[in-house]
Amino acid sequence: MIHLSGPYALAAVLAGLGTYGVLARRNAVLVLIGVELVLNAANVLLVATGSVGADTWQAGNVLALFIITIAAAEVCVALAVVLAVFRLRGDIDLSRAAAGPAAEQTEPAQATPLAAESRR
């Protein structure tokens, strides 16, 4: 016997925390951590609804496994993009990207040394 309000409350809290993490972080890797929290909220919801009532096709468990697999693929591609951005720009600061393209188009040679200096 289990009460469903506990798992539902945990899913809601994890989704809110993940949203905060995506919005409040500047480092691209930490944004990715927020995305993982949101995906886990969806997983908790799926497993909770699958564990009660008649789940003929085991949809809760199987879809949770699918989400875990998709998350692995997503992290793989996302980290490749993060490393590519780091090689091109010298940092992975997402809030600097808003002003970045104009500066990089005009002076591509100076953008990287300045970013390297600011990181030290």
Binding-site size for another protein (CB under 8 A) equals 83
Report the run of H or E that residue 97 belongs to, with start and end: none
Compose the 7-46 pattern: x for residues touching another protein by CB under 8 A, - for all others: xxxxxxxxxxxxxxx-xxxxx-xx-xxx-xx--x--xxx-
Nearer to another protein, 85 or 102 (CB): 85
> Comparing C-alpha atoms, which of 47, 66, 63 is closest to residue 7?
47
Least Cβ distance, residue 100 to another protein (angstroms)? 15
d(CA 13, CA 103): 39
> Comparing C-alpha atoms, which of 71, 104, 81 is closest to residue 28?
81
- Amino acid identity, position 98: A
* 74 touches another protein (CB under 8 A): yes
* 104 touches another protein (CB under 8 A): no
* Footprint (CB under 8 A) of another protein, residues 46-65: 47-48, 50-55, 57-58, 60-62, 64-65
